[in-house]
Amino acid sequence: MIKLTVDNTEIEAEPGANLLHTCLESGIYIPNLCHLKEMSPAPASCRLCFVEIEGMDPPVASCTIRIWGSMQIHTDTPAVRRLQKSALQLLLSVHDVDCKPCPANRKCALQDIAKFLKIGLKPKHLQKQLKETRVVEEHPCLDYYPNRCVLCGKCVYVCRQQHDLPMLAFAGRGFDTVVTAFGGAKKTRDACGLCLACSAICPVGALIPKAEAT
Ligand code: SF4
Ligand code: SF4
């Protein structure tokens, strides 16, 4: 085991362990949306889990770091918070913040991270850009809300773990990227009706079982 210091707290980890995961397991919170312990390599897509490592400049996404020695980590520096706030504001600029009717309200990772970083969910200076489609209802069991989706990829990952054939995938590029389902109505109804792991792992309210949709 290796001893490392995170914000003046000494913790232990196996050499090669994932830094973000080690911190979270040790009770040290670092904002994150796309991290799953099992996902390797880490997608590093949400750009929230920045930390500073002494001897390394600039801050790095902690999900991409393997622990290599007695590192000195700082999770709460001005540079780290600046980067995290920018990443969150970017996400909020394409997010339809309408929490009251959203099934994720009060158990939403975006709300939690915004609170942690002391950012309002509706910053006044933010220029909004929303997709035209509010909800995609083609799936027999699930409704998909593109303007709530943070494109974390967790649903696509768990779907691939559960089924021999993936039923979900990303489609489109850049601002138009969405999660899409394929496989045909009968196949998806059979496979998804008993599963819904994607909806359970979604950190926001983007994939909602039809019975719970608003
Ligand atoms: S996903 Fe979260 S932040 Fe977005 S509308 Fe739903 S509760 Fe609000
Ligand atoms: S639907 Fe949910 S789990 Fe899937 S990519 Fe969007 S936010 Fe992530």
Over residues 169-202, the pLDDT tens digits come to: 999 999 999 999 876 667 677 788 889 999 999 9
Choosing from 110, 154, 159, 161 the residue with most ligand 2 atoms within 8 A of its CB, the one to mutate for a pocket test is: 154
Over residues 134-147, the pLDDT tens digits come to: 999 988 899 999 99
Q: Are 19 and 51 in contact (CB under 8 A)?
A: yes
202 Cβ closer than 6 Å to some ligand 2 atom: yes
2-90 adopts what CATH topology?
A: Ubiquitin-like (UB roll) (3.10.20)
205 C-alpha vs ligand 1 centroid, how far in Å? 6
Distance CA 154, CA 162 (A): 12
Residue having the nearest C-alpha atom to atom 5 of ligand 1: 99
Model confidence, pTM: 0.93
179 Cβ closer than 6 Å to some ligand 2 atom: yes
Domain 127-212 has CATH 3.30.1490.20: no
Domain boundaries, the chain: 2-90, 127-212
